[in-house]
Chain A
Amino acid sequence: MAEVEVKNLSKAFGDSVVLDNISLKIKEGENVVVFGRSGTGKSVLIKCIVRLLEPDSGEVFIEGENILALSENKLNEVRKQIGFLFQGSALYDSMSVRENLAFPLIRNFNFTTKEVEAKVKSSLEKVSLEDSIDKMPAELSGGMKKRIGLARTIITEPKLILYDEPTTGLDPITTKEISQLIVELQKDLKTTSIVVTHDLICAKIIASHAVVLKDGKIKYEGNLENLVSTSDPFLRDFFTSDILEVKNGSNK
């Protein structure tokens, strides 16, 4: 498990300030869901946390290490403990499912071929897609790609997993399945998770803590129940449609 701390983080693209002096602390084993309208910097925040984007100012600590100050080699050592599920899954087009999953293991760890094969199969079992081992990414549906992406993310047994909109574009049933899978994996691997999403169904299943971003700042930080029953007009507007959808769904 890993503790993450973001201190006074700012990031702008040209004149547009996306993150404005954000501070956030995520405890070990917590599942934090980050909400916000499109373009409020949710993805930018998690990309800054793994240093895929360089922030303009601020600090990011993962298990006490300021990753913005690390050399390339040390940064890679920290990254070996981090999993990142991308919005579009980001499976390597030129590799089969087996090769996609084996890739980080072969490159970063000293496993034997048998051990790699066993880990690939075990990861695919966790996402119930053992039969897809020899398929190419182009042969997979959107939901299958997300699952394979998830299997690739967890294969190295990371301490921290970042999810960038894991259920976007999926139907409600698949959304529920993926969300439950994330919770199960979190329990199994005892990871700390940060989930960026718009999806309240997904958030209700996953979140132990919620953060809402607005205009580059944190508008709300606390538990999800309080957020759902908030009287703040912006937060109420933001969640109204989804709350109704969830309620209707649960009535059925």
Chain B
Amino acid sequence: MGSAKTNTGTTQNLSVSGKRLTEFFQTVSGLFLFTIEFFKKVFIPPYEFAEIKKHMDELGVKTLPIVSVTGFIIGLVLAMQSQPVMIRFGAGSFLPGMVALSVVRELGPVITALIFAGRVSSGIGAELGSMRVTEQIDAMEVSAINPFRFLVVTRVVACTFILPMLTIYVIFIALFGSFLAIFLSQGISFQLYLNAVVHSVEFSDIIPGIAKTFFFGFIVGIVGAYKGYNTENGTEGVGKASTSSVVISSLLILLIDMVLVKVTLMIWSN
């Protein structure tokens, strides 16, 4: 009896795992095909510049308050946490440079991208998902308007170009936060802080840091749009599309970051 129950339980677990694995591969292949479709459409006119600008405005403005607060706190906390350690090793004067390098190379781009994913990818997933279940996408299609071009391409392009701008903004805010922390503890002047930052950060630190945010922005847009555009099962499906957009885009951001860090280290190793 006990053995039969265990066998049934194991079979059920295997069946659930199999289903999840199938879903995973379906998502990966679906996302891949969706990305190909995007590149097929993005370079062919008409170019929907007005719609792209509208989405950039909306996405930028929507995300600005939360990234401002996060950027400021990250800069502040990073400086506060690092200060005792740096002083212990007799490297207190390197603190502004260390914070600046961390923010420019890694923390600024990745944290901004993760917040952007939470805020925007879920929004795109929910918006397109609700358009799908209320037949608005079908209405567009039957009116001889290509919904992929109008809804997906515009949003993905907007995400790709607005995230680098937000990241640059967050880096400045984070640097201001770290200055405030160091100023309050050590009384450092702004001029001295700025000199330390400018001398520490090089061109080869800025370019890879900002360049990878184009990839992150693209991921946020394409994942949100893919999940929303292919929503099924009514309002329940909209909720799932919104949640899974955030989970998948956040994971992909971290994975791509790992790859890009390796690539940039190889390029700038000398």
Residues of A within 8 A of B (CB): 47, 50, 52, 72, 76-77, 79-80, 82, 84, 86-88, 90-93, 103-104, 107-108, 156
Given A77-B144, A108-B145: A93 touches B131 (CB 8 Å cut-off): yes
How many Å from the CB of A147 to the closest CB on chain B?
16
Is B178 part of the contact surface with A, judged by Cβ < 8 Å?
no
Those of B125-153 within 8 Å (CB) of chain A: 130-131, 134-136, 138-146
Q: List 25 A-B contacts (CB under 8 A).
A: A50-B142, A52-B138, A76-B146, A77-B144, A79-B144, A80-B144, A82-B142, A84-B139, A84-B143, A86-B135, A87-B135, A88-B134, A88-B135, A90-B134, A90-B139, A91-B136, A92-B131, A92-B136, A92-B139, A92-B140, A103-B143, A103-B145, A107-B143, A107-B145, A108-B145
Which residues of chain B in 143-175 are interfacial with respect to chain A, using CB atoms and an 8 Å cutoff? 143-146
CA distance A37 to B23 in the complex (A): 33
Docked pose: A237 CA to B9 CA in angstroms = 47
Contact A79 B143 (CB under 8 A): yes
C-alpha spacing A77/B145, complex, angstroms: 10
Among B130, B138, B140, residue most surrounded by chain A Cβ atoms (within 10 Å) = B138
Bound-complex Cα distance A17 to B146 (A): 29
Contact for B138 among A72, A76, A90, A156, CB less than 8 A: A90
Say whether chain B's binding surface is mostly helix, strand, loop, or mixed: helix
Given contacts A84-B139, A88-B135, contact A93 B144 (CB under 8 A): no
In the assembled complex, which residues on chain B have CB atoms less than 8 Å from the CB atom of A88?
134-135
Partner of B141, one of A52, A91, A92, A103: A52
Give the chain A neighbours of B145 by CB distance below 8 A: 103-104, 107-108
Chain A contacts of B140 at CB under 8 A?
92
Instruction: Write the nearest CB–CB distance from B116 to chain A, whole angstroms.
Output: 21
State in angstroms the CA–CA spacing of A86 and B133 once bound together.
12
Assembled-state Cα–Cα distance A82/B140 (Å): 12
Question: How long is the Cα–Cα vector from A245 to B139 in the complex, in angstroms?
Answer: 33
Q: Which residues of the partner chain B approach A47 to less than 8 Å between Cβ atoms?
A: 138
Shortest B45–chain A CB gap in Å is 13
CB neighbours (8 Å) of B135 from chain A are: 86-88, 90
Q: Is the CB of A79 within 8 A of B134?
A: no
Evaluate whether A108 and B130 lie within 8 angstroms (CB atoms) in the complex, with A84-B139, A86-B139, A92-B136 already known. no
Closest Cβ–Cβ distance, residue B54 to chain A (whole Å): 10
Instruction: Find out whether the CB atom of A76 lies under 8 angstroms from the CB atom of B131.
Output: no
Chain A contacts for B139, CB-based, 8 A: 84, 86, 90, 92
Q: Which residues of A are found within 8 Å of B138, using beta-carbon distances?
A: 47, 52, 86, 90
Pairs of residues from A and B, 4 with the lowest C-beta to C-beta distance, nearest first: A90-B139, A76-B144, A79-B144, A90-B135
Identity of the chain A residue whose Cβ is nearest the Cβ of B46 in the assembled complex: A107
Chain A residues within 8 Å of B146, by CB: 72, 76
Which residues from chain B contact A50 at a C-beta distance below 8 Å?
142
CB distance from B233 to the nearest CB of A (A): 13
How many angstroms between the C-alpha atoms of A93 and B132 in the bound complex? 12
Q: Which residues of A contact B144 (CB under 8 A)?
A: 76-77, 79-80, 104, 107-108
Question: Which of B136, B141, B143 is the one whose CB lies under 8 Å from A108?
Answer: B143
Question: Which of B130, B136, B142 sits near A79, CB closer than 8 Å?
Answer: B142
Task: Using CB atoms, name the residue of chain A closest to B54.
Answer: A94
Q: Which residues on the B side are within 8 Å of A84 (C-beta)?
A: 139, 142-143
- A-chain residues with CB within 8 Å of residue B130 when the two chains form the complex: 93
* Chain A contacts for B136, CB-based, 8 A: 90-93
B55 shortest CB reach to chain A, Å: 11
